Structure 1
């Protein structure tokens, strides 16, 4: 962990020499009784623009942390400038699944992201404090987390995305500490059924939440993404869906990010044009 932190600091100092501004914001989570780090990327004109900025929340996957996106997709800084938006990369714990766990009282990442982090970002930075100026997306566990949080908090986010998301984790009862977050499937089936985003489509109404999702053909989550897309079609929920060659890796996700940030920028411009 120490070696990884040193490597990130060296990388951070290097990229900080040009474009945008990068903050590391420590946020106190009273719900979990700890401080949590988050990267905040500000566009070049942040200090000169008086109007508030739209914000994209970008979630990491299982086994990752808040540094993943910026270290593995450093073009994030250029995107913040190009689209004149703030990008926030929270730390969601290694395998939190961005839930308030029904079996572990120490895991309350839904509360953290949707309440504590949002409040801190809106207090510290010049943001547009409305759902039409907020979007959330992520990869793998973070893709599930982005849909999970946005479906349950449509008053907070107006658009959401998923990249190779674990949109139905029920076929994977022994993976990614899911049993620690939800209990064993055989004993706590209801927890699994109630917390998989596959079963939350009923929360959506029309196009009140703008959605984009994509997944590679060779991804182990491809089947779940395809079924999720078909479920949205059955319920007449508008969305953008992309499937293309690709696996569950960092060769795929930076390309996904490119399309999703364009999607969010279009949403922000159309929703906040006045």
Structure 2
């Protein structure tokens, strides 16, 4: 791409074309800046190269490591491999990460990280730069994917099925056990990747998890990931991801009956306010 400069865009004053989207009929978009054909070709090549790197890691490294740790009770070493794989993939995508707000994390405490979600890059960034060993809450359908689902179980990824109270209860109990082992949890509260520039309503699962594990909530904001590898774009561009860890929202003494919606709204508002400060775009 062209030489990168850091220009902060205030979403409240941006021109409409800066954030123009076209989502009808799953039409692919170019967001948020215009680009040359040469740049887009490079973006597509980098996109497919990054997934080739993923496939290579999964087949030749992750699978043997997963099998090894599947039969071990202590899996701290597996998280080290996940951290390594996440960083390798981010490097293959050509991105760097600027993480701020780690001073909001207290030593020895586990958290529920509640974040926005606009790109596959978010997951790898959270894993590698949250400053904590992290488990994830994912869609239950992903656990059924061959190899991938097997690895998720080893990597402390859980799915909370609210339609089945017994399974939901078991998932919460597993989450407590994982957090007792020193892990925090990351939850993409929108439930799916949003289109570039969007912030979808937050689902309640993240707050239920925080309440039932008595863990503080850390709102997390990812900026620029939608520009570097946005949903339905099929491209990957080099650049810098901004990850912001916001001050903790305490849940001590809170209950689902009285405080769930308050905590949900407070978490989303914190994320929305940080996003409204602007993003750093590549020109």
TM-score, L = length of structure 2: 0.30
> If each structure's helix is expressed as a fraction of its own residues, which one has the higher value?
2
Structure showing greater Rg:
2
Q: Say which structure, 1 or 2, has more relative contact order (CA 8 Å, 6+ apart).
A: 2
TM-score, L = length of structure 1: 0.30
